[in-house]
Copies of this chain bind each other. A is one copy, B any other.
Amino acid sequence: MRPSFKAVRRGGLEMSDPLNVLTKKTPRQFDQAGSPRSVGWTRAHRVRLADEKNPLPLDCGKTIAPVDVEYEIYGKLNRARDNAILICHALSGDAHAAGWSADAGRLGRPWLKNRPGWWDVMIGPGKAFDTDKYCVICSNILGSCYGTTGPSSIDPETGRPYGLRFPVVTVGDWVRLQERLISHLGIDRLLAVAGGSLGGQQALEWALAYPDRVESAIIIASAARLSDQGLAFNVVARNAIMTDPNFKDGDYYGGPTPGRGLEVARMLGHITYLSETSMENKFGRRFCNGEGPGFHLGVDFEVEGYLRHQGKAFVERFDANSYLYITRAMDYYDASAWGEGDLDKACRRIESRLLLVSFSSDWLYSPAHTKELALALGRARKRVSYANIESSYGHDAFLLEVEKLSHLVRCFLGEGVAE
């Protein structure tokens, strides 16, 4: 079956039919990419959005150039150019939000070969973000390690990777760069900006920073700011990375990487993405040997094996310095800064409609914090809808509670039709 692939060749958008690479794919991938509900094979695009003449100003007071941005596009931009939806990814995400990457080999990211984009369940023909109707764009954030400029990029001043000489970036900086991308693509106004977790904070920041350029914001499993507890977890994660003997103040490129430290950081992250209940359901204190304690300090419980596996897999695909910078941006984000510390005042800037969704067992961005934002928006008399979805999946629910979330997103986008 040939993938139902939609070529978009207009206004800076280009997505070539990648049938030439299909033979390298497994039959399973072929089937999935060809499914009527998949966006099919996808290509990563890269564009330079800041250079010496037009550097990107940053919240820290510095500027940065050059800045390249990697992005993907699914669906077709209409003539009025008013059907674009920007999807914002979270901490460890990338621009490959949907479909099957035809570029895994070219980009040197083998892990992309065996799985669809990170929000494929939500983006595609007939899905919540319906690529038959909308033009869905996702770009990699500044400071990350997936094609957009980050700490592993070459610092033009030294000719070597930035490492910790990379400037500290913020959610505001990410959105400022996304605005350049949207302008580059010839889009004046986004129909929606959407994201979960740190992606939700980017959606919120869009509504605050560019109130006239975004019709609606979909903010999932997120809040106006991270709690002190969440902040503390990030502190521990960063310290674990910096403790690794290979960290070398961030100048490890070309040599062994601080993989052990990054592994520990990711293990910790995974605990905060799950809920106590989902962990109990998933592992139930079971031993790897299926019997009882092995009386050693190595991997003995299933939960240990799971965390180690997740940690090791992450090290294969992520840059430790990017983890430092992105968690720092997560720490610093506080929407109330738009109102000199007063969230209600900040919310008054917003002109978009907003959908806020939390999940009952999420304790990283808990329902209480999402609700706090919803109430502030309400007091500012904004058009806000807030829903708390009952779920045992914890923070990860924004990737898993597809049915309930899809229903809410559809209704909000003006369709209101169940699948």
On whether the beta carbons of B303 and A232 are closer than 8 Å, the reply is yes
A106 at interface, CB cutoff 8 A = no
Known: A164-B297, A168-B295, A236-B307. A225 touches B285 (CB 8 A): yes
Question: Which residues does chain B contribute within 8 Å of A332, judged by CB atoms?
Answer: 293, 295
A215 at interface, CB cutoff 8 A = no
On whether the beta carbons of B229 and A276 are closer than 8 Å, the reply is yes
Mark each residue of chain A from 170 to 212: 1 if its CB lies under 8 Å from any CB of chain B, else 0: 1000000000000000000000000000000000000000000
Q: How far is the CB of A192 from chain B (nearest CB, A)?
A: 29
Of B167, B270, B296, the residue contacting A168 (CB under 8 A) is B296
On whether the beta carbons of A231 and B303 are closer than 8 Å, the reply is yes
Within A251-292, the residues touching B (CB, 8 Å) are 260-261, 263-264, 267-268, 270-271, 274, 276, 279-280, 282-285
Q: How far is the CB of A405 from chain B (nearest CB, A)?
A: 24
A295, B332: Cα distance in complex, Å? 9
Closest to A341 in B: B292
A contacts with B: majority SS: helix
Known: A238-B297, A260-B243, A283-B228. A271 touches B233 (CB 8 A): yes
Mark each residue of chain A from 312 to 329: 1 if its CB lies under 8 Å from any CB of chain B, else 0: 000000000000110010
Question: Which residues does chain B contribute within 8 Å of A324, judged by CB atoms?
Answer: 297
Question: Which residues does chain B contribute within 8 Å of A167, judged by CB atoms?
Answer: 295
Q: How far is the CB of A228 from chain B (nearest CB, A)?
A: 4
A57 at interface, CB cutoff 8 A = no
Of B236, B295, B308, the residue contacting A59 (CB under 8 A) is B295
A268, B239: Cα distance in complex, Å? 10
Q: How large is the interface on A (under 10, 10 to 19, 20 to 34, 35 or more residues)?
A: 35 or more
On whether the beta carbons of A240 and B240 are closer than 8 Å, the reply is yes
On whether the beta carbons of A168 and B236 are closer than 8 Å, the reply is no
A303, B230: Cα distance in complex, Å? 10
A295, B59: Cα distance in complex, Å? 9
A284, B300: Cα distance in complex, Å? 38
A264, B242: Cα distance in complex, Å? 10
Of B228, B244, B293, the residue contacting A280 (CB under 8 A) is B228
A35 at interface, CB cutoff 8 A = no
A307, B231: Cα distance in complex, Å? 11
Closest to A305 in B: B235
Question: Which residues does chain B contribute within 8 Å of A239, judged by CB atoms?
Answer: 260, 263-264, 267, 308, 311
Closest to A259 in B: B243
On whether the beta carbons of B304 and A235 are closer than 8 Å, the reply is yes
Known: A261-B243, A263-B239, A297-B168. A229 touches B279 (CB 8 A): yes
**Most chain-B Cβ atoms within 10 A of its Cβ — which of A59, A236, A239?**
A236
A296, B167: Cα distance in complex, Å? 8
Known: A235-B307, A307-B236. A264 touches B243 (CB 8 A): yes
Q: How far is the CB of A5 from chain B (nearest CB, A)?
A: 42
A-B contact pairs, 8 of them (CB 8 A): A232-B270, A232-B307, A233-B271, A235-B303, A239-B311, A243-B261, A243-B263, A245-B245
Task: Please list the 5 inter-chain residue pairs (A to B) with the smallest Cβ-Cβ separation, ordered nearest first.
Answer: A245-B245, A60-B295, A228-B279, A243-B260, A168-B295
* Contacts A228-B283, A264-B264 known; 6 new A-B pairs at CB < 8 A: A227-B276, A229-B271, A229-B280, A231-B301, A236-B307, A239-B311
